[in-house]
Amino acid sequence: MSHGMRVKNMIKCILKTSDLIKERQTELLDIGFVPTMGNLHQGHISLLHEALKEFKTVYFSIFVNPKQFGPSEDFNRYPRTLERDIELIENTLIHFPDSKVIIYAPENPDEVFPKDRHQVISVNGLSTVLEGKIRPGHFDGVATVVYRLFDIIKPSKAYFGLKDYQQYLVIKQMVNDLALPIKIQGMPIIREIEGLALSSRNQYLTAEQKSTSLLLFNTLSIIKNIIDQKRVNIPKANSFITETLKDPNWNYLEIRDSETFSEDISHSKNITILAVYQMGSTRLLDNMQVEVQ
């Protein structure tokens, strides 16, 4: 198929860091960057799409980062589907015939973290609450890999999903703390029609768990509706949250300031309701933002 061939020419998949650095040196223009762990879905593709709207060359990493998984987490069974991922990227690139995507897909973690590099990036404060409290070291793993990828790829702008809202804040804080010349763009959560946020981990769910999982989106929606953009309604929302948390499957369900991540939302203009619901061995993570007056 000639069209397919043409598109294929616009994609390079690089496995070795030394090759990636060489490739990067040939690029004169600014580039956009989308970091992922692969097993792509429309959430990831929405980031790529936005990056391609802004940059002729987009670097796209696919790397299951061992540093962000706890010892009893799903690192080994995390789905790895590189061939299919490349096809999805190709299909997106059809809409951008003059653009190119460089995929960086190191299989061996030593490519990303050479044995003689011991650096750990830790963003104070944000990294040890909520998700970070339940998954100690997780955000250090995230910040460390993203810093390393930024250092190798040197993008002008990087795209992150607001699905992982706390991660997005950690990365923004890291960029600020280290004064990195990189813009961080948060992108809207892509959901299934019924509301479940797309996630590579959704495929762990049985059909029954999947239908129960709507509880997460529905609960966030109810809280958002209770608040109804009015600060006076927050106590009512808090009572509802207290009642909801009687179900022990909630890892957390909390309201925080969208910018500072503070629990004190008495002066907040925008708040985020963040939750994780435990569905068997799978943790479903989601959030919803509400403006308040």
Q: In angstroms, what is the minimal distance from the CB of 121 to ligand AMP? A: 17
199 contributes a contact to ligand AMP by CB under 6 A: yes
List 160's β-bridge partners, or say none. 186
- Which residue in 206, 215, 201 sits closest to 275, CA to CA? 215
216 contributes a contact to ligand AMP by CB under 6 A: no
In this complex, which beta carbon is closest to ligand AMP, that of residue 64 or of residue 237? 64
| Rounded Cα gap, residues 220 and 222, in angstroms | 5
Among 50, 111, 140, 164, binds ligand AMP (CB under 6 A): 164
- Which residue in 141, 145, 104, 139 sits closest to 125, CA to CA? 139
Beta-carbon contacts of 72 under 8 Å, excluding residues fewer than 6 positions away, are: none
- Residues 172-191, mask of contacts with ligand AMP (x by CB under 6 A): ---------------x-xx-
Q: In the complex, which residue's CB is closest to ligand AMP? A: 161
Q: Give the number of other Cβ atoms within 10 Å of residue 22's Cβ.
A: 11
Residues with active-site annotation: 44
- Which residue in 142, 199, 187, 185 sits closest to 161, CA to CA? 187
| Rounded Cα gap, residues 272 and 203, in angstroms | 26
Polymer length in residues for the chain: 293
Q: In angstroms, what is the minimal distance from the CB of 248 to ligand AMP? A: 26
9-68: contacts with ligand AMP (CB under 6 A): 36-37, 43-44, 46-47
163 contributes a contact to ligand AMP by CB under 6 A: yes
Q: Give the interface with ligand AMP as residue ranges (CB under 6 A).
A: 36-37, 43-44, 46-47, 160-161, 163-164, 187, 189-190, 197-200
